[in-house]
Structure 1
Amino acid sequence: MLTKSPTATWMPAWIPESTLFLSFLLMFCSMVQSATAGYDGSMMNGLNILPSYTDYFVLNPATTGLNTASIFIGGFFGPLVSGIVADRLGRRPAIFWGSVITLVGVLLQTAAQDIAMFVIARIVLGFGAALSGIAGGVYLSETFPSQWRAWGVGMLNNFYYVGALIAAGITLGTGTWQSTWAWRAPSLFQGIFSVLCIVVLPFIPESPRWLVHQGCYEEARLVVAQTNANGDLSHPVVLAVYKEIIDTLRWEKEEGRTLSPKEIFKTPVSRKRFLIGISPGIFSCIAGNIIASYYLGAELTTAGIKDPIQQLKANVVLNVWCLGCALGGTYLTAFWGRKPTAILSQALLIICLFIIGGLSKMYADNPDRASKALVYGDVAVMFLFQGFYSIGWTPLLTLYPPEVLNFSIRANGVAGTSFALNAFALVFVFIMPIGLANITWKMYFVNGSWDIIILGMIVYWWVETKGKTLEEIDALFEGEKHSSVPDVEMVRKGREQIDVKGVEEEINIGVEGQRKIEQVG
C-alpha cells in the first residue's frame, strides 16, 4: 500500500506504509548509486588489461593515466555545485539530475572515437556521479533512522563492489571479442545503475531535515513517522526525533547560520567539523587501494602474473572478496564504532603494504627464478590489503562525513569531502602507473610510510558517532545538545520515557513561534 508523501519539490513521492520496506528501498537507492562508481573502477581495470582497448587508443603510461583519471576531473568540478544544488532544489531532485548527467556521460563514453572524446565523456560522467553521490550521501544520512544509519549509509559505498563485480564479469566475457565492442559493451552497461536510481526515487520521501529547513513542518513530521514508526505520527520515537530536528535547526537559525558555503569557515567548530568531515575522502584515497582499484594488471605483473585472462579472473575474485569484507566492516562500524574500525583497517593496510613491497622486491631481483610460492604469496597479500581497505574505508567514506557535519554545512561539507577525494584521486590515479613503471616495488614502501601518518591523525583527531542521531552528535562538537528530549536510542529501547502530550504541546508552540519569526523575516 502506497501513501502520497509531500516533498515540497516538483518530484512527487508515493511511500510504502511499512517502515522496514521503506528502509529497504532507501538502501536500494544507496546500492545502485554506489554501484556506478564501483563499476567504473573495475571496468577500467579490465579495459586497461584488454589489448582491444589499449591498441584502439594507442595508449602509453601517460595516456593510460589520463583516460583512467579523467573521471576525477568531473568529480573534481561536481562538488563545486553539488552542495548548493542539494540545498536549493532538494535532496531527491539533485540525485535525479546527477543520474541524468551520468547517463549522458555513459553514452558519450560508449561512442568514443578517440582519446579526446573518451576523456570528455568521462569528465561528464564524473560530474554527474559526484552530484548524485553527494546528494545521496546527505539524503540517506538525514532520512535513515539512527539505529540503521550505519547499514543504510554504509551501503552507499559497499555496493561499489557489486558494480565492480558486474563490470569484472562483463569485461571477462567480452575480453575475447575481436572488435571495439569488447570495451564499448562494458561502457554501455555502466548506465543501468543510474536508470535504476531514477526508477526508485518516486517511492522514497524527501529528507525530513531539509523539509524542516524549508518550513514544511507537517510534511517533515510525516516523513519521520514513515521512516521510524510505520506512519504513526504520535509514536514516542517519532516525537523525539522530530523535536530534536526542529529544536536544533531553530537553534542554528537563531545563531545566524545559513546554507552558504562560507558557513564552513565562520567558526572554529565549523572548521573542525569540516576538516574531520573531509578527512575520510583524503585518507581513503591515498591509503594505497588506487593501485589495485585501477591498475590491478600492473600490480599483478609486478608479482609475476602476466596473462591478461588470468588477470581478469583475479579481478572477479578480488571484487567478491572485497564485497564480503565491506559488509563485515559495516557490521563493525554499527556495533563496534566508526573510529575503532578505521584504526584497525589502517593498521592492517600499513602492514600489508610493507609486506607487498618486500615480496615484490624479491620477485624483481630475480623474476626468472622466482618460486610459485613467492608469486602467489604476493598476490594473496594484495588481496588481503584490498579486503582490509574494504573493512574500514569502504563504509566509512560515505557514512562518517555527513555524521560529523551539522545541517548548515552538511551538503557543502560532503561536497568538500568529494572534492578533496577527487582532487587527490586525480593526482594519484595519474601518477600510479608512472610510479609503478619507474620505481616498481618502492611505490609500496612510499605508500606505507604516509599511511603511518594517517593512522596517527585518526587516533588523535577523530570522534566517535556511533548510536547517536545527527542532532545528538552536535554535543560532541558544540558542547551541548540543543533539544530537551531524551536521546532517541534511549527512547527507542525503552530506557527513557517522554511525556507525549507535553512534547506535542512544546512542538506546536515551537512550530507556531518559528512560523511567526519566518513571516516577520
Structure 2
Amino acid sequence: MGAGVVATGGGNSAFTHLLDQNRLWYNNRRLIALHGWIVLLLITSSTNGFDGSLLNSFQSLSVWNDYFATPAGGRLGVLNAMQNIGSLAAYPFAPYLSDGLGRRPTIWIGSLIMLIAVVLQSAAQNWGMFLSARFLIGFGLTFAANAAPMLVTEIAYPRYRAPLTALYNSLWYSGNIVATWSTFGTQHINNNWAWRIPSILQGIVPVLQVFLIWFVPESPRWLISKGKEEKALQTLAYYHADGNEQDPLVQFEFNEIKSAIDLDREVSANVGWKSLIATPGNRKRMAIIVALAFFSQWSGNGLVSYYLKDVMVSIGITDSTIQLLINGILAIWNLFWAVLSSFLVNRLGRRLMFITSVIGMLIAFTFQTVCTARYQITLNNNAAHAVIAFIFIFYASYDLAFTPLIVSYTVEILPYSLRAKGFNIFNFVISVALIFNQYVNPIAMGHIGWKYYIVYCCWLCFELAFCYFMIVETKNLSLEETAVLFDGEEVSNALHNATREVRHEDYDEKTSDSGYTPTNELKA
C-alpha cells in the first residue's frame, strides 16, 4: 500500500489546485448545460427503479391479480426474475457496444428497445405477452445502464465527479416513487387501466433519451481511445474551461487520460476479458466488485424491494391501500437518504460509509427479525409496528453506501481499458443475485417464514468483515490516479514518467496567458 499513500498525498495537489475556485455549477452556463445533460444520463437509473417497484405495487392491485390469475410462488418468482433474465441475455454485447460504438449510441439503442418493451407491456393481453415485455425491458436496460454511469464519470467536472456518479444509483428511487405513487393513485380504477397507466409512464425516460441523447457530449476518454484527440480536447475545454484548450486543468486532464490509455495499450495484460484477473491489482478489483454486487442484493433489502406485500402480510397488514401507502412513503424516505449520502461522499470517504452502512443494516435487520418472530408468536401489534420502524431504519443504513456508492465505486476503481468489461461483470453479478433472490425469497418465506431472516443476519456479519478488510479508500483521486491504489508503484511510476515531460511543457509554457504558476510540488 506504499504506492497508495503516495497517490493520496500527491493526488490532490496534482489537479485540485488547478480548479477555478470561482467556477461553480450554478454560476457558469456551460457547467449548467453539462449538468443538464448529466441529469439525462442519471435518470437511466430511475428507469431501473421504476421497473423494480412496478411489480411490487402491482401485487397489491386486485385487477392486476385477477387479470393474471394472482401469480404466487415460483410463478411470481419467474415474473420478477424475467427482467434480469433479459439483462443476462444482453450482457455479452453491452461492453462491446459501449467501447466500440461509443457511450451515446449504446444508450440510444438501449432506450429504443425499452420503449418498444413498454408499448408491449402496456398493451399486454396475456401472461406470455407481459413476460416478453419484461424480458425486453431488461435486455434494453442493460445497454443503457452499462454506458450511462461511465459517461457521467468521464464527462463530469472533477469537483463534482464523485457526488454526480453517486447520484446515479441514488436516483433509482426517483423511478421507485413515480411507480409506487402512480399505482397508488390508480388503485381505485376498476379496470385494467389501473396497471396499464403506470406501465405507460415507464416510457417517459426512454422517450427523453431516444430524442435527446445525441446532444450529450461523448466521453473524452472514448474519443481519445479512438484517435479523436482533437475532438476530446475540444469537449474537455468547452465544458471544463469555457472553451480554453490551453487551460491548465484541461491540459492536465487531456494529457493524463492520453497517457493512461497509451500505457494500457502497451501493456499486453490489459487486453480482453482475461485481463480482469491477470494481475493482483485486477483480481482485487474484481473481488471487491463481485462482492459489492452480491451485497447490494443479498443484504435483506430484496425482501422489501420485491415482496413487500408478503412482508406486510407476515405482520398482519393485509389492506392493499395501507401496503401501497407504506411502499410510497418508503420510496420517498429512501430517495432522501440516498441523495444526502451522495453529497457526503467526498466528506466521509468510501470506506467509512460502507462500514457504517453494514453495521446499521445488521442492527436494524436483527431487530426486524426479532420483532417479526414476536408478532407471529404472540400477535402483538406493537411488534408489528416495530417491524415497520426497523424497515425504515434498515433502508436509511442501506442508502448510506449501497445505494450511492456501488456504481460510482465500481467505475472509479476500474481503469479505462477495463471499465466497460468490469462494469458489465458488476451488472451481470447483480442480475444473477437478483434472479436467485427473486425466485428463492417467496418460496423460502412461504416454507420457513421469519426464520429465513436469520440467514440474512448471518450474511450481514460476513459483509461487515469483508468491507473492513477489503474496501480501499479512493477519496479525492482522479480516475487515473485511483489505479495506483490497486496496481502499485510500478504502474504509478510508468504513468508519472509518461506524463511528466508533457506536464512541464504545458504548465511552464502554455499557461502563462492564464496567469497560472505551477507549484513547487508539481515542478519537483
Shorter-normalised TM-score: what interval? 0.7 to 0.9
Distance (whole Å) between structure 1 residues aligned to residue 165 and residue 211 of structure 2: 19
Q: Is the 8 A contact 2:375 2:384 kept in 1?
A: yes
> Which residue pairs with 2:111 in the alignment?
99
Q: Is the 8 A contact 2:77 2:440 kept in 1?
A: yes
Distance (whole Å) between structure 1 residues aligned to residue 376 and residue 498 of structure 2: 61
Q: In terms of mean alpha carbon deviation, does 126-135 or 110-119 score higher?
A: 110-119
SS in 2 for 1:463: coil
Of residues 405, 422, 442, the one that matches 2:414 is: 405
Q: Is the 8 A contact 1:402 1:414 kept in 2?
A: yes
Distance (whole Å) between structure 1 residues aligned to residue 508 and residue 497 of structure 2: 11
Distance (whole Å) between structure 1 residues aligned to residue 360 and residue 465 of structure 2: 14
> Which residue pairs with 1:270 in the alignment?
282
Distance (whole Å) between structure 1 residues aligned to residue 499 and residue 371 of structure 2: 51
Distance (whole Å) between structure 2 residues aligned to residue 390 and residue 283 of structure 1: 13
Once the two structures are TM-superposed, the CA of residue 265 in structure 1 deviates from its matched residue by 3.1
Q: What TM-score, normalized by structure 2, do the two folds share?
A: 0.87
Once the two structures are TM-superposed, the CA of residue 90 in structure 1 deviates from its matched residue by 0.4
Once the two structures are TM-superposed, the CA of residue 219 in structure 1 deviates from its matched residue by 0.9
Is 1:469 aligned with 2:478? yes
> Which residue pairs with 1:392 in the alignment?
401
Q: Is the 8 A contact 1:176 1:182 kept in 2?
A: yes
SS in 2 for 1:231: coil
Q: In terms of mean alpha carbon deviation, does 136-145 or 469-478 score higher?
A: 136-145
Q: What is the identity, as a one-letter code, of the residue corresponding to 1:82?
A: A
Of residues 456, 465, 478, the one that matches 2:465 is: 456
Once the two structures are TM-superposed, the CA of residue 26 in structure 1 deviates from its matched residue by 3.6
Deviation string 1:169-201 (CA, Å, 9 cap, x unpaired) is: 110111111112211211111011111223331
Once the two structures are TM-superposed, the CA of residue 365 in structure 1 deviates from its matched residue by 0.6
Deviation string 1:338-377 (CA, Å, 9 cap, x unpaired) is: 121111111111111110110000110122xx23x32221
Distance (whole Å) between structure 2 residues aligned to residue 43 and residue 258 of structure 1: 40
- Say what the alpha-carbon RMSD is for the aligned residues: 2.2
> Which residue pairs with 2:305 in the alignment?
293
C-alpha distance 503-189 of structure 1, shift in aligned 2 (>3 A): farther
Mind listing any 5+ residue stretches in structure 2 that lack a counterpart?
1-27, 512-524
Distance (whole Å) between structure 2 residues aligned to residue 27 and residue 388 of structure 1: 27
Once the two structures are TM-superposed, the CA of residue 231 in structure 1 deviates from its matched residue by 2.1
SS in 2 for 1:441: helix
Q: What is the identity, as a one-letter code, of the residue corresponding to 1:417?
A: F
Q: What TM-score, normalized by structure 1, do the two folds share?
A: 0.88
Distance (whole Å) between structure 2 residues aligned to residue 239 and residue 380 of structure 1: 52
Distance (whole Å) between structure 2 residues aligned to residue 259 and residue 26 of structure 1: 31
Is 1:420 aligned with 2:429? yes
Mind listing any 5+ residue stretches in structure 1 that lack a counterpart?
1-16, 489-496, 506-521
Q: In terms of mean alpha carbon deviation, does 207-216 or 275-284 score higher?
A: 275-284
Is 1:500 aligned with 2:500? no
Distance (whole Å) between structure 2 residues aligned to residue 504 and residue 269 of structure 1: 36
Q: What is the identity, as a one-letter code, of the residue corresponding to 2:219?
A: S
Is 1:253 aligned with 2:259? no
Q: Is the 8 A contact 1:146 1:467 kept in 2?
A: no
Q: Is the 8 A contact 1:34 1:157 kept in 2?
A: yes
Q: What is the identity, as a one-letter code, of the residue corresponding to 2:40?
A: C
Q: In terms of mean alpha carbon deviation, does 384-393 or 110-119 score higher?
A: 110-119
Q: Is the 8 A contact 1:339 1:463 kept in 2?
A: yes
Of residues 254, 259, 264, the one that matches 1:242 is: 254
Once the two structures are TM-superposed, the CA of residue 78 in structure 1 deviates from its matched residue by 2.1
Q: Is the 8 A contact 1:30 1:152 kept in 2?
A: no
Q: Is the 8 A contact 1:278 1:401 kept in 2?
A: no
> Which residue pairs with 2:12 in the alignment?
none
Q: Is the 8 A contact 1:326 1:395 kept in 2?
A: yes
C-alpha distance 343-108 of structure 1, shift in aligned 2 (>3 A): same
Once the two structures are TM-superposed, the CA of residue 243 in structure 1 deviates from its matched residue by 1.0
> Which residue pairs with 1:513 in the alignment?
none
1:307-326 matches, cutoff 5 A: 307-326=319-338
C-alpha distance 203-21 of structure 1, shift in aligned 2 (>3 A): farther
Once the two structures are TM-superposed, the CA of residue 270 in structure 1 deviates from its matched residue by 2.3
Of residues 166, 183, 200, the one that matches 1:154 is: 166
Of residues 42, 48, 72, the one that matches 2:59 is: 48
Distance (whole Å) between structure 2 residues aligned to residue 68 and residue 52 of structure 1: 18
Once the two structures are TM-superposed, the CA of residue 226 in structure 1 deviates from its matched residue by 2.6
State the aligned residue count. Answer: 479
Q: In terms of mean alpha carbon deviation, does 145-154 or 315-324 score higher?
A: 145-154
Q: In terms of mean alpha carbon deviation, does 37-46 or 353-362 score higher?
A: 37-46
Once the two structures are TM-superposed, the CA of residue 257 in structure 1 deviates from its matched residue by 5.2
Q: Is the 8 A contact 1:239 1:503 kept in 2?
A: no
Once the two structures are TM-superposed, the CA of residue 401 in structure 1 deviates from its matched residue by 0.7
Q: What is the identity, as a one-letter code, of the residue corresponding to 1:194?
A: P
Distance (whole Å) between structure 2 residues aligned to residue 319 and residue 188 of structure 1: 20
Once the two structures are TM-superposed, the CA of residue 487 in structure 1 deviates from its matched residue by 11
